Amino acid sequence: MTAPTSPAYKRILLKLSGEALMGDDAYGINRGTIMRMADEILDVVRLEVELAIVIGGGNIFRGIAPGAQGMDRATADYMGMMATIMNALALQDALKHRGLDARVQSALNIEQVVEPYIRPKALRYLEEGKVVIFAAGTGNPFFTTDTAAALRGAEVGAELVLKATRVDGVYSADPNKDPNATRYSRISFDEAINRRLEIMDATAFALCRDQKLPIKVFSINKPGALARVIMGADEGTLVHV
């Protein structure tokens, strides 16, 4: 089969977990890991793909989690949102070192540090070829950054939500526990629900399904996987209507 020569998608929403930035560290940001991700993103932008990113904060919050035990849930969630802003700034800096122009927009209003989320500005940045990094989730407690990815993806008209994980797709069972587990190349939203596959949190999954916004689950740890997904290669698992 001849390899595709042009991207299969024009506008993408990439969901990065905070844990993806840790590398082999227990928590925090591993500089080598984040610079490698910046290189992967650079390869995609060179394909003239418009790229928006929603980033989690679990890597930073993990370091303070013991002190947060017993804390009010809403307070803990706001702390997690602040962690996503720290990650967004770190990723913006890494992209800057690779010559990429990136903008951070936050659902929380901290104008001295990052600009607020304004949809028309985000759309204009994407059209100008800038990478847009959405931080602070939805700005509301009790909602995950998965939900923020589904929401922002729908708002900016993304053709695909990419969920970058440490596993190279969706499996019939936990591949770490079951050696016979098989990876799905494609699966429908309804099939995933019937088989009780945990792909995203229920709110995010339902939003993508309702908006007919496909999800691609892939491993961010595989070199070149991000570009291969965008070129339409058989990488990871596509969840579709």
Residue 168: partners with Cβ closer than 8 Å, 6 or more residues away: 183, 218, 219, 222, 225, 235, 236
The partner residues of 52 in beta bridges, in order of sequence, read: 13, 132
d(CA 135, CA 80): 10
99-117 tens-digit pLDDT: 999 999 999 999 999 999 9
Domain-embedded: residue 5:
no
Question: What letter would DSSP give residue 2?
Answer: P
The range of the structural domain enclosing residue 221 comes to: 11-240
218 neighbors 229 (Cβ within 8 angstroms)? yes
Residues belonging to the binding site are: 15-18, 57-58, 62, 77, 138-145, 165, 171, 174
138 neighbors 107 (Cβ within 8 angstroms)? yes
Residues belonging to the binding site for ATP are: 15-18, 58, 62, 165, 171, 174
Q: What angle (nearest 5°) sits at the alpha carbon of residue 192, between those of residues 190 and 164?
A: 125
Domain-embedded: residue 206:
yes
With b for 16 or more beta-carbon neighbours within 10 A and e for fewer, the 148-184 pattern comes to bbbbbbbbbebbbbbbbbebbbbbeeeeeeeeeeeeb
Domain-embedded: residue 6:
no
Nearest residue to 137 (alpha-carbon basis) of 201, 218, 193: 201
204-235 tens-digit pLDDT: 999 999 999 999 999 998 999 999 999 999 99
140-173 tens-digit pLDDT: 999 999 999 999 999 999 999 999 988 899 999 8
Domain-embedded: residue 44:
yes
d(CA 230, CA 7): 6
Which domain CATH number covers 144? Answer: 3.40.1160.10
Domain-embedded: residue 127:
yes
23-45 tens-digit pLDDT: 888 888 999 999 999 999 999 99
Domain-embedded: residue 33:
yes
Domain-embedded: residue 43:
yes
134 neighbors 152 (Cβ within 8 angstroms)? yes
Task: Provide the domain count of the chain.
Answer: 1
52-100 tens-digit pLDDT: 999 999 888 776 666 667 788 899 899 999 999 999 999 999 999 999 9
Domain-embedded: residue 3:
no
Residues belonging to the binding site for UMP are: 57, 77, 138-145
String of DSSP letters for 150-163: HHHHHHTT-SEEEE
d(CA 198, CA 89): 29
This prediction has a pTM of 0.93
